[in-house]
A and B are shown apart, each in its own frame.
Chain A
Amino acid sequence: MSHPQATALALFAGGELPWWMRWRVRWHLGACETCRREVEGYRRAAAWFRETAAELPPGFDWERAAAEMRANIQLGLEAGECVSGPERAVSRIRWRVAAAVASIAVVVLGGWWLHMPHPRAPRFEAPLVASTSEGIQIREPEGSLTLLNSGAVPVMVSASAEGAMTARFIDEETGLVTVNHVSVE
């Protein structure tokens, strides 16, 4: 599955995407837990930023800031007029071509819409314990906790059918046997 770019997810979280891009990202999020979490993260971060931004430094001059913004916008408009070409009349023939292209586009998009796979409901994943090269971990939808082996070798890992896992090794720093244990209910 290919994922939207991070910038697209960030703009989607802020409601700043064009409608067709917004629709594509929303469709992708319906089936992708990873991107959904990322969008949630951006939303939380934006909320925090708004709260922080509300606390402006004392003596902030709103009038001066507004005047500077108006001047910048005016400058941008004038520069745009300098580089734009003369306006040309749109011929009747070009309108017909545009109408034909639009009709074809409607047919193609309609067919694609009817044949595309429907977004799947997100699958609930129960918490689990797992061993990795770095240690043993608890994985849950909201995050994970890994107890690291600290590069020790060898590591004796054993699992228990009650939903638990143990990693035992000699800690090279302390010289002591260390037993890490994780479990889920």
Chain B
Amino acid sequence: MFLWSRLSFLTACLAAAAVSQTLRVDFPAESPVTVVSADWGTSEASPRGGALVVDLRTTLRLRNSGAAPIRGVTLVVLAQEVTPGGKASVSVPSLNVAPGETFPVRIDLRLLRPLQATAGPLVRVELDGVLFDDLTFYGPDRLNSRRTMTAWEIEARRDRRCFKSVLAARGPEGLREEILASLARLADRPSLDVQVSRRGRATTLGAGRRLEFALLRWPDAPIEPLAGAALVAPQEAREATLEVRNRSGRRVRYFEIGWILRDRQGHEYLAGSVPAEIRLAPGEITQVSTDATLRFSRPVAVEAMRGFVSRVEFDDGELWVPSREHLSGERLDRLVGPSPEEQRLANLYRKKGLGALIDELNRF
């Protein structure tokens, strides 16, 4: 009993010390984004069995110290002592921050780690990239933030164009209908909780059964999916393989195929995507495969699968994303969900009404 009370006291002491030495923010000296302040909010640490749970809640206020408006920022969150095989990041897309202005980035995280004390901070927050409104990029780009944020920005421009044209053609009430439809799609979006693991995780799949993809072929997509299959079982899908052809006249260095599952009741879910970093010359055909396992939170009797090209990056960094017509024509928009910008605009309407939305669309 005495030993137990000593251990409780000890863990409480460790917990109190843990929060203060947990996080360090490191931005390059020449960064166009600088840290103005950091609010630690209700950060706390508490012992749980033989481990320590650290809840870290911080809001960083950043300043645009560059010369161009910022459209997005990505911060990488590293906890190498606890999760050496993983990386995390927090991105804020759909920004419009003029030079000299500040903006918040909230990072809420929970660490579960052994009680063992470590020297130095447990979590490091570093800048991975900043995207400006002219699509120039600054940052080390270790997490391919340039590609991701550029795709979000292209989708944002596509969606703003769409809403502006609706406003011009059908007036404020037409815009209201469009934005209400967007909110309804988001609310009705079917979700499926999954775990993703790679290399060597034990599975319950056994042999499973091989299921072919029904592939959507859009005439203007630079990549044409030719064939594909994956192993499926009631609670898992894995080992997706796809054959694609580059039908554009340009070299492709990256593409993503969206992966949709349909169960016996006819419900469809966006299970995930199959990305591929690859050098593909014009006209070339290649096969890609993944060793990842998608494990569902509940049994799903998968009856059919669909695949569609969701993103393509050319060798010069230019990106292709599907149009809204592509997505709505195949009823994919209710599965894929809105872009970050559409989500932001819909939330603006929900919070402040139609007038605020129209003002926002007229800003840029």
Contacts and interface: CB of A to CB of B under 8 A. Distances in A.
Nearest to B272: A159
Contact of B110 (A38, A148, A165, A184): A148
Contacts of B186: 154, 156
Contacts of A174: 59, 104-106
Contacts of B197: 126-129, 163, 184
A125 to B, nearest CB: 7
Contacts of A154: 186-187, 189
Q: Classify chain B's interface size.
A: 35 or more
Given A44-B116, A49-B6, A161 B274 contact: yes
Nearest to A176: B92
Given A44-B116, A156-B337, A165-B196, A170 B90 contact: no
A145 B79 contact: yes
B290 A161 contact: yes
Contact of B115 (A41, A131, A175, A183): A41
Nearest to B294: A159
A149 B343 CA distance: 16
Given A130-B195, A158-B272, A177-B92, A123 B202 contact: yes
B82 A145 contact: yes
Interface in B95-136: 95, 103-117
A41 B77 CA distance: 25
Given A161-B274, A173-B59, A39 B113 contact: no
B316 interface: no
A176 B103 contact: yes
A3 B343 CA distance: 47
Contacts, number: 241
Nearest to A151: B108
Interface string A45-78: 1101100000000000000000000000000000
Contact of B86 (A39, A138, A179): A138
B161 to A, nearest CB: 19
B67 interface: no
Contact of A177 (B3, B200, B256, B343): B343
Contacts of A135: 108, 110
B3 A145 contact: no
A171 B109 contact: no
B3 A125 contact: no
B108 A150 contact: yes
B25 interface: no
Given A164-B196, A174-B106, A127 B86 contact: yes
Interface stretch (A10-18, A23-31, A107-115): A10-18
A124 B197 CA distance: 13
Nearest to B338: A156
Interface string A33-47: 010011111101110
Interface residues of A, number: 70
A7 interface: yes
A102 interface: no
A39 B77 CA distance: 29
B340 A179 contact: yes
A180 B89 CA distance: 6
Contacts of B59: 173-174
Contacts of B202: 123, 125
Nearest to A125: B201
Given A143-B114, A154-B189, A161-B196, A181 B92 contact: no
A49 B10 contact: yes
B195 A177 contact: no
A159 B271 CA distance: 7
Contact of A160 (B77, B112, B115, B272): B272
Interface of B: 1, 3-4, 6-7, 10-11, 14, 49-51, 57, 59, 77, 79, 82-95, 103-117, 143, 186-187, 189, 191, 193-202, 240, 256, 259, 270-275, 290, 292, 294, 337, 340-341, 343-344, 347, 351
Closest CB pairs A-B (n = 6): A41-B50, A38-B50, A138-B86, A159-B272, A128-B197, A143-B82
Given A145-B109, A160-B272, A183-B143, 18 more contacts: A6-B49, A38-B50, A38-B51, A40-B50, A44-B114, A125-B202, A128-B197, A142-B83, A144-B111, A147-B77, A147-B109, A158-B270, A160-B256, A164-B196, A176-B95, A177-B94, A178-B106, A181-B91
14 contacts: A34-B49, A45-B10, A129-B86, A145-B110, A146-B109, A147-B109, A149-B108, A158-B272, A160-B273, A161-B196, A168-B340, A177-B341, A178-B92, A185-B198
